[in-house]
Structure 1
Amino acid sequence: MDESKKAISNESSLKKEIGLIPAVSLVIGMVIGSGVFFKSHAIFNATGAPGLGIIAWILGGILSIAGGLTVAELSAAIPKTGGMIVYLEEAYGKIWGFLLGWVQTVIFYPATIAALAIIFSTQVINLTGISGGMLNIIAIITAVFLFAMNCLGSKTGAYIQTVSTICKLIPLVAIIIVGLVKGGGGTVNLLPIAAADHPVVSGLGSALIATMFAYDGWISVGVIAGEMKNPAKDLPKAIIGGLSLVMAVYLLINIAYLFVLPSSALAATETPAADVAKIIFGTNGGKIITIGILISVFGTLNGNILTCMRIPYKLATEGTLPGSAWLSRLHPTFKTPVNAGILEIIVSIIYIFSGKFDQLTDLTIFVIFIFYILTFYSVFILRKKQPDLYRPYKVPMYPIIPAVAIIGGLYILINTIITQPMNAGIGLVLTFIGLPVYKAMNKD
């Protein structure tokens, strides 16, 4: 406990510069990525109706807010490097922290990178008319190029991230404004609520998995707690305000889509944003918007590559991965974890050849929600195990908010097991392979 307080004192006293408005901006920046441009296809395909699809976006936002408010208590109380890995170790033991790192190394980040590279390649082909047979090749070249850029140092990756963050707002704003004003379909395209030929419960569950990929990033919102001027007061406002604004943007752009195209057309295309852009801006205007979307996806892919390299490197420095001596080496000049990045890119390429965008993103959401639920529940555990732990912020409406996050997460897991048993099975097998790996590397 003294160690925790010392860590809090050391880390939180370094920077107390973030106020409410910058915190809200950070939340928005961490969440909005590529899903808003592409996941409408999967959502309206799963629900079969525009109304239920919009409800899925709303529920995804509510679940993200509940999750963000819950995890923020852990972030504020345990402001240590490692985030969720540290929370799981505190609540359940070191093996669960390792298992999360293992999942991030072999499933979450490589599959996310593969999915983003595939959708980037799809957009390139859609924009240029290149043969569809080039999809995997373009995806691999893009991922390898960004890996090489990030090997040059974090400044290069950060520059790419800054430019892409600005650019991603342009197509969002343009499609929302022009789509709502010029969209010929009008409000008639927002109905019906449910389709007679689609099961409501499982369809909504599958759609919710898709929305959670678009909202993914909320798990990181609590990391800013240690740098906030008044986390107890401003952190919940930043989470609720930031994620509410994200939800509003997601709702508005999907309504704009529906003002232009019916949900059946959106369900039939893998590039809904680009298709809508072509209709409302014309061929040339649509290409400009598509370029903006490409830059946004490029930036999201870059951010994941920048992050993914650090996970196996951290595990390797602790000697918990096979080949740790090699994986823990830094580049002699750039001081970046190149070897760990090579591992991640190789696994990502395997996923590129073995999966599709929606299949891969559903896999990542399924496996990561196993650990999200454990993280939500750890709030209950740590309040009992460490009642005297200094908590500058506590989740409001406890235990209701954490319970909402847990129930929503369980709904996603159970629905995936029922509707996508093969995908869920692959996720579970790959996850629990980590157990014998951990035992083999920790024979002491």
Structure 2
Amino acid sequence: MEKNELKKEIGLLSASAVVIGMVIGSGVFFKPTAIYTATGAPGLGMIAWVIGGFITIAGGLTAAEVAAAIPKTGGMIVWLEETYGQIWGFLLGWVETVISFPANIAALGIIFATQAVSLLGLNDGMLVTIAIISILFLIVMNCLGAKVGGNIQTIFTIGKMVPIFAIIVFGIIKGNGGVVRIFPVTVASHPIATSLGSALLATMFAYDGWIHIGNISGELKNPKKDLPKAIIGGLFFVMAVYILINLAYLFVLPASALAATKTPATDVATLIFGSVGGKVITIGILISIFGTLNGNILTGMRVPYAMALENRLPGSKLLSTLNSKTRTPIYSGVLIGIIAIIMTLVGNFNQLTDLLVFVLWFFYVMTFIAVIVLRKKQPDLKRPYIVPLYPVVPIIAIIGGLYIIINTMITQPLNAGLGIVLTIIGLPIYFIKKNKAIK
């Protein structure tokens, strides 16, 4: 094994667990508040969950073709470079290194700590401390090896399904709202186009994370077969879970009540199971968030490592170094952790999540378009998996992504502007490193 070669020790089960574990996390428990606030009506909120699911699945079906054809560590970074050139891969890697992964890790750490403080009755002053400790703990665990991180992911993914299925089953059975809670579909005070767009932005955070399985392609035992299976199977499973659990929410509480609380899942669980049962479900929610946090650290620390291998970041020699025993990029993990901790100290959950979703969807759309471009540029490229119903499925993914981007620029111009500025900041670094390489 070469000095900088990662171990191929992740199988289909762990890969699927990474997809499901990274997607099902805090969003399904906390984003109903933002969704039903945006729509003002339960019907449109449910439509947002369904449309978001179909856009995500269309994106997954599309991206899986590129992932299987180019199964290299770095995931989407490598796919964009292969299609459009180095600058686009660099910009995505820059965004993932300094914005999206740290922001996601920070947001998850904050929401994990918020739930923990509430459950244990601790002082709010402990929130930041707990968030930082949880982040540091999982960084250390993932530095012990991909197998350790993968095993943690599998265990917590299985564990998180317990509270989810409990809410689904007992919420639908015991909920007294029934199907009437799904209506009305819209209300006059919330314009459909902008309301649906804002709700979709929230659902896309809940569905986000699946594409980062590509970051650990180089550590999969059989990436060409397992990667598309993990993406597609995982996303269909997630969409079914999201629709069912939101039906359960609405069977127990009206949309107005879900919009008015910061902890919709906990409130629903308390009504179903009582105060003690509600606390048990809250523990399950903590397990879910913890697993998602682990998945983001597991995949996120591979991004600066992959970029450093090509000497594209300051300090690349250190960032590309693997631990001699565990074969993990520990210094890249430390970098991601430091940025995430800084964001934990200065950011808040909703702002961080909206920012990262907006920025990433620029690159998601480019990835979906890449399937069409590569078929023309490299028709002889070996494709173990072919996107079904081509080009209909890629077009659905592209249109859905563009709708999210344009709507965000209209409804949240400051957030959109901040995301664009932070992305553009990476350009000087790219050209400085490129010019040094030429000299």
TM-score normalized by the length of structure 1 = 0.88
Whole-angstrom distance in 2 between the partners of 1:227 and 1:189: 44
Deviation per CA, 1:129-187: give whole Å up to 9, x if none. 22223322221121122222222333432332222111111001100011111112222
Asked whether 1:250 is paired with 2:247, we answer: no
Quote the offset at 1:220 in angstroms: 5.2
Asked whether 1:264 is paired with 2:256, we answer: yes
Of residues 56, 75, 85, the one that matches 1:93 is 85
Asked whether 1:115 is paired with 2:107, we answer: yes
AA at the equivalent of 1:315: M
Quote the offset at 1:104 in angstroms: 0.6
Whole-angstrom distance in 2 between the partners of 1:344 and 1:309: 6
Of residues 361, 365, 378, the one that matches 2:370 is 378
Which residue number corresponds to residue 142 of structure 2?
150
Deviation per CA, 1:264-306: give whole Å up to 9, x if none. 1111222111111111111111111111110111111011112
The number of residues matched between the two structures is 423
Which residue number corresponds to residue 5 of structure 2?
none
Which residue number corresponds to residue 53 of structure 2?
61
Asked whether the equivalents of residues 67 and 218 of structure 1 are also in contact (C-alpha less than 8 Å), the reply is no
Which residue number corresponds to residue 291 of structure 2?
299
Whole-angstrom distance in 2 between the partners of 1:100 and 1:27: 20
Unaligned runs of 5+ in 1: 1-13
Quote the offset at 1:393 in angstroms: 2.7
Unaligned runs of 5+ in 2: 1-7
Which residue number corresponds to residue 51 of structure 1?
43
Of residues 201, 225, 228, the one that matches 1:228 is 225
Deviation per CA, 1:203-223: give whole Å up to 9, x if none. 111111111112123325786
Counterparts in 2 of 1:330 and 1:406: CA distance versus 1, 3 Å = same
Whole-angstrom distance in 2 between the partners of 1:218 and 1:254: 20
Q: Equivalent residue of 1:56, what SS?
A: helix
Q: Equivalent residue of 1:394, what SS?
A: coil
AA at the equivalent of 1:378: A
Asked whether the equivalents of residues 63 and 368 of structure 2 are also in contact (C-alpha less than 8 Å), the reply is yes
Which residue number corresponds to residue 151 of structure 2?
159
Q: Equivalent residue of 1:184, what SS?
A: coil
Of residues 320, 330, 338, the one that matches 1:328 is 320
Q: Equivalent residue of 1:442, what SS?
A: helix
Give me the CA root mean square deviation: 2.5
Quote the offset at 1:385 in angstroms: 1.2
Whole-angstrom distance in 2 between the partners of 1:128 and 1:308: 30
Between 125-134 and 241-250, report the one with greater CA deviation.
241-250
Counterparts in 2 of 1:52 and 1:164: CA distance versus 1, 3 Å = same
Whole-angstrom distance in 2 between the partners of 1:295 and 1:210: 21
1:280-359 matches, within 5 Å, as 280-331=272-323, 334-359=326-351
1:385-396 matches, within 5 Å, as 385-396=377-388
Whole-angstrom distance in 2 between the partners of 1:198 and 1:332: 57
Counterparts in 2 of 1:199 and 1:249: CA distance versus 1, 3 Å = same
Quote the offset at 1:254 in angstroms: 0.6
Q: Percent same amino acid at aligned positions?
A: 62
Whole-angstrom distance in 2 between the partners of 1:334 and 1:388: 37
Which residue number corresponds to residue 392 of structure 2?
400
Asked whether the equivalents of residues 72 and 221 of structure 1 are also in contact (C-alpha less than 8 Å), the reply is no
Counterparts in 2 of 1:333 and 1:245: CA distance versus 1, 3 Å = closer
Between 76-85 and 108-117, report the one with greater CA deviation.
76-85
Asked whether 1:417 is paired with 2:409, we answer: yes
Quote the offset at 1:116 in angstroms: 0.4
Quote the offset at 1:372 in angstroms: 0.6
Which residue number corresponds to residue 5 of structure 1?
none
Which residue number corresponds to residue 70 of structure 1?
62
Whole-angstrom distance in 2 between the partners of 1:100 and 1:269: 35
Whole-angstrom distance in 2 between the partners of 1:192 and 1:170: 31
